[in-house]
């Protein structure tokens, strides 16, 4: 019976996948190179993942989980709904940008070999994020901090609008310096939220 691997080996493999994807992309990432990076045998990789594709997807999923955890913390913060939405939108852009900064190309290009599965997982991740945003929108409306809008549809619109600044079809380098992306994010977020606050333009119509 094969010996169980320590729990931290999985994270070390995903760290190695992040490094190898950044350096040379998916084509250059092999099970052998992953094993070598972590200092384990090739067979040990297969004890945790059935293929190198699953390793790459798990690395992307792990980053999405980290982004979601940040959004959940911000959603529960003792701030106004508008402030929480602002911070959440900013975080979902900049945390993904920071993750992709060292990559040699866009995530869509790096992982083009299994684009359908990548897009399917991404849709589930965005849907999960939208539920958080919808909750904050509903709370804000109930406290009269925000105008009453359809929470889920509005949350999905916020996700779609800010996706334009995520390093998916464009690489982090193509999006520009972090300060440039931050400035663009701030302008976009202010524009999006202006129409939902009681002092915004919609309330004066």
CATH code where residue 77 lies: 1.10.357.10
**Distant-in-sequence, close-in-space partners of 107: CB < 8 Å, separation ≥ 6:** 60, 100, 118, 167, 168
Q: What is the pTM of this model?
A: 0.89
Residue 18 domain-assigned (yes or no): no
Both tokens of 71, joined, read: 């959004």
Residue 40 domain-assigned (yes or no): no
Residue 147 domain-assigned (yes or no): yes
What rounded mean pLDDT belongs to the chain?
91
Residue 10 domain-assigned (yes or no): no
CA dist 205 and 197 (Å) reads 13
pLDDT in tens, the chain (205 residues): 345 677 789 999 999 999 998 888 888 899 999 999 999 999 999 999 999 999 999 999 999 999 999 999 999 999 999 999 999 999 999 999 999 987 878 888 888 889 999 999 999 999 999 999 999 999 999 999 999 999 999 999 999 999 999 999 888 889 999 999 999 999 999 999 998 888 654 444 3
Residue 161 domain-assigned (yes or no): yes
- 75: containing domain: 53-197
The whole-number pLDDT of residue 128 equals 97
**Distant-in-sequence, close-in-space partners of 146: CB < 8 Å, separation ≥ 6:** 81, 82, 137, 140, 196, 197, 198
Residue 78 domain-assigned (yes or no): yes
Q: What is the pLDDT of residues 141-150, one digit of tens each?
A: 999 999 999 9
CA dist 63 and 44 (Å) reads 23
Residue 2 domain-assigned (yes or no): no
User: H helices then E strands: how many in the chain?
Assistant: 10, 0
The whole-number pLDDT of residue 199 equals 67
Q: What is the pLDDT of residues 61-77, one digit of tens each?
A: 999 999 999 999 999 99
CA dist 27 and 136 (Å) reads 41
**Based on the structure, what is the number of domains in the chain?**
1
Residue 83 domain-assigned (yes or no): yes
């Amino acid at each position: 019976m094969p010996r169980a691997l320590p729990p931290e080996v999985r994270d070390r493999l995903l760290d190695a996948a992040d490094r190898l994807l950044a350096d040379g992309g998916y084509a250059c990432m092999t099970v052998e190179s992953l094993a070598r990076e972590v200092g384990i045998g090739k067979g040990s990789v297969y004890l945790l993942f059935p293929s190198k594709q699953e390793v790459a997807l798990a690395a992307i999923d792990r980053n999405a989980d980290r982004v979601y955890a940040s959004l959940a913390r911000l959603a529960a913060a003792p701030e106004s709904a508008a402030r929480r939405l602002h911070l959440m939108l900013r975080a979902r852009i900049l945390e993904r940008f920071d993750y992709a900064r060292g990559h040699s190309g866009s995530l869509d290009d790096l992982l083009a070999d299994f684009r359908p599965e990548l897009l399917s997982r991404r849709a589930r991740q965005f849907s999960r994020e939208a539920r958080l945003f919808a909750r904050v929108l509903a709370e804000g409306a109930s406290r009269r901090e925000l105008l009453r809008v359809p929470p889920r549809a509005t949350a999905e619109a916020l996700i779609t609008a800010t996706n334009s600044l995520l390093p998916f079809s464009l690489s982090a380098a193509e999006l520009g310096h972090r300060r440039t992306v931050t400035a663009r994010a701030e302008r976009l977020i202010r524009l999006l939220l202006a129409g939902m606050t009681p002092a915004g333009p919609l309330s004066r119509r």
